[in-house]
């Protein structure tokens, strides 16, 4: 038996494996701690489909097979799946613009599977993206299908254009992390003078302006944290331990800020910005200057 992973022959010993599924599972478990996942399997020059394991998983393992496996890192696999989302939104937009109801309805039949991927692929932990798109499609008579006006079509098209921008942003965080990180870093740096005024704004009745700054800062900082976790540690050696501590502290504070925001506790929001966030942001340039001079 010969096993290849990404064209390299693997010296792997099997003991109690009796089926092709057992072999697959053993290799999958061996690869996972190394940060890789199986993306394609070819057995005896014939591709077997990972989404149709019932066709091959329980077949006996004879020991004479040649198994070729294509493996991707978890980040590469995530990027590939995000590209699939991007392609889907493009097809929906095309069908909407062309008024192709047959294609559009076929795509919308798949939407329940698409939206379930937002949490993992777009870091939509609070379901904000999913809930927004659900409401948009429902109120404009797309899901479930109903009578649609021209304005309904325009509204949904605009929604998918905005969704596409979000998806592209998430993809850029993975494929060009240093550029995306520098852009985000620069945006936060530009915001610092405004952030210093938030506490005063909340005390002088300018709650709306203060809220906009808080929301924008939270979004940018969460984006920067996502990007940072996408970069291998060996590529960012400066201040590594300090950054980990900084990220842990800021993540906890941002969670408190989000809770204060949801309960409209302006006093707590002001205190968090003035006494917790701003003092830590003084360290921010030194910690994240890595992004400024690096390239993808």
E strand or H helix at 30, and its extent? helix 20-31
Contacts 24+ apart (CB under 8 A), 26-33: 27/3, 27/69, 31/5, 31/71
pLDDT in the model for residue 118: 94
User: Rounded mean pLDDT of 15-24?
Assistant: 89
User: Rounded mean pLDDT of 54-59?
Assistant: 91
User: Rounded mean pLDDT of 194-214?
Assistant: 91
Provide the token pair at 49. Answer: 């489909």
- For residue 161, the Cα-to-chain-centroid distance in whole angstroms is 17
Asked whether residue 296 carries a pLDDT value surpassing 90, the answer given is no
Lowest-confidence range among 24-38, 202-216, 239-253, 280-294? Answer: 280-294
- For residue 270, the Cα-to-chain-centroid distance in whole angstroms is 30
- Pairing between β-strand 66-73 and β-strand 2-5 as defined by DSSP bridges: parallel
pLDDT in the model for residue 13: 79
Q: Where are the domains of the chain?
A: 2-73, 78-173, 176-293
**Burial of 82 per CB tally in 10 Å (0-12, 13-18, 19+):** buried
Spatial distance between the Cα atoms of 2 and 38, rounded to a whole number of angstroms: 17
Class of domain 2-73: alpha beta
pLDDT in the model for residue 292: 58
pTM of the model: 0.78
pLDDT in the model for residue 243: 80
E strand or H helix at 2, and its extent? strand 2-5
Q: What percentage of the chain carries pLDDT values higher than 90?
A: 56
Q: pLDDT tens digits, residue range 256-292?
A: 998 998 898 989 999 999 999 999 888 777 767 666 5
**Burial of 55 per CB tally in 10 Å (0-12, 13-18, 19+):** exposed
């Amino acid at each position: 038996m010969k096993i290849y992973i990404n064209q390299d022959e693997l010296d792997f010993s099997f003991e109690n494996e009796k089926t092709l599924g057992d072999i697959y599972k053993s290799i999958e478990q061996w690869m996972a701690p190394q940060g890789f996942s199986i993306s394609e399997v070819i057995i005896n020059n014939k591709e077997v489909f990972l989404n149709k394991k019932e066709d091959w998983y329980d077949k006996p393992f004879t020991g004479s097979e040649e198994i070729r496996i294509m493996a991707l890192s978890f980040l590469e696999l995530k990027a590939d799946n995000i590209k699939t989302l991007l392609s889907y939104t493009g097809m929906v937009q095309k069908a909407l613009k062309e008024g192709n109801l047959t294609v559009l309805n076929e795509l919308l039949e798949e939407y329940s599977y698409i939206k379930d991927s937002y949490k993992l692929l777009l870091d939509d932990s609070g379901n904000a993206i999913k809930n927004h798109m659900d409401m948009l499609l429902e109120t404009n008579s797309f899901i479930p299908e109903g009578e649609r006006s021209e304005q309904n079509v325009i509204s949904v098209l605009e929604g998918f254009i905005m969704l596409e921008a979000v998806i592209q942003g998430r993809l850029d965080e993975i494929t060009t992390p240093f550029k995306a990180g520098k852009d985000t870093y620069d945006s936060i740096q530009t915001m610092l003078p405004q952030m210093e005024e938030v506490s005063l704004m909340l005390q002088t009745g300018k709650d709306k302006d203060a809220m906009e700054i808080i929301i924008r800062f939270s979004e940018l900082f969460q984006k920067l944290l996502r990007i940072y976790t996408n970069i291998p540690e060996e590529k960012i050696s400066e201040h590594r331990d300090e950054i980990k501590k900084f990220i842990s502290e800021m993540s906890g504070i941002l969670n408190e800020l989000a809770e204060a925001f949801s309960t409209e506790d302006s006093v707590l929001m002001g205190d968090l910005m003035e006494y917790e966030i701003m003092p830590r942001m003084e360290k921010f340039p030194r910690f994240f200057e890595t992004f400024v001079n690096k390239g993808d």
